[in-house]
Amino acid sequence: MPTLLLDKNAVRRLIDMPEVLGAVEEAFRLHAEGKSSMPPKSYLSVEKGDFRAMPAALPGGAGIKWVNVHPGNRARNLPTVMAVIIYNDRETGYPLAVMEATIITAYRTGASAAIAAKYLARKNSSTLGIIGAGMQAHTQVLAHTGLFTFEKVNIFDISEETAKRLMAAFPDLPMRFTSIEEAAASDIVCTLTPARSPIVKREWLLPGTHINAVGADAAGKEELEPSILKAAKVVVDDLRQASSGGEINVPVAKGIYSVNEIYGTLPEIVAGKKPGRADDREITVFDSTGIAIEDLAVARLIFDKAQRQGGYPQVELV
């Protein structure tokens, strides 16, 4: 039995944000219904960054993503985040595919945040704030504009050049480079930075704001003032990961915030086990750490499309 080899060009041809949105939302539903398996993300720290092993199983497949985060890579003209997924047959364990997953990571992260906004943001949300305009910002914009129609997209980055590159990628959208305060004063706000101390203040937020806190994905990272969490309905993708490495990890470690204050998980809300937004004035926060079922759902999608289309390289790996 051959193993498919799908490089970055193949994954880029095969991936499609509307399909990713559907696959990730269904993975959340299956997870809440107890139809998935996902042990905690495992971290391996090295001198210049860290590696993360992320295994999971869903009906029909299993696999693992091996992903790194090396902040200094930009100086070497390499991505900060790089990833590979091994996708296996659930019944036999046979490796069905090995695929580039940096693109998958970006797409599923954008999709999970947009799905959170679907359930937690106001239905009439008309402004999107992007804080941090790097690679992840592209898929955040792509995913959110698939579910919402925005009158303004407010972009902030410490590099105006980076913000302008994002704007140039979406010439048909009403984007503008703003201050961080203006970006935070949007209906839906996505924080996408590697900050290790709060950069978004409670006083900047409007009533009814929804925040996708994406940047904090490891211990010590933090983008929001803890007072925002105290005032908000906080939803996480995974309680264990969020408490040890998500937006809440620093406030929890300092005793400012308790895991008992978390409202619930996004899978619970998607599956209808808990309601989403209660009214148009509450502030909601989605603490996104990125969970392996998201990656696996997209890997299965990519593998199935590659099999149907044919023509991709195969090896007798085992």
287 - beta bridge partners?
213, 236
Residue from 100, 86, 113, 134 nearest 189 by CA: 113
- Kindly state the helix (H) or strand (E) to which residue 31 belongs, with its residue range: helix 17-32
Residue 237 CA to residue 265 CA, distance in Å, equals 5
User: What is the C-alpha end-to-end distance of the chain, expressed in Å?
Assistant: 8
Contact 234, 263 (CB under 8 A): yes
The set of catalytic residues is 65
Residue 36 CA to residue 185 CA, distance in Å, equals 37
Residue 136 CA to residue 129 CA, distance in Å, equals 13
Residue 294 has, within 13 A of its CA and on its CB side, a CA count of 25
Residue from 190, 67, 182 nearest 138 by CA: 190
Residue 134 CA to residue 144 CA, distance in Å, equals 16
Helices and strands in the chain, H and E counts: 11, 17
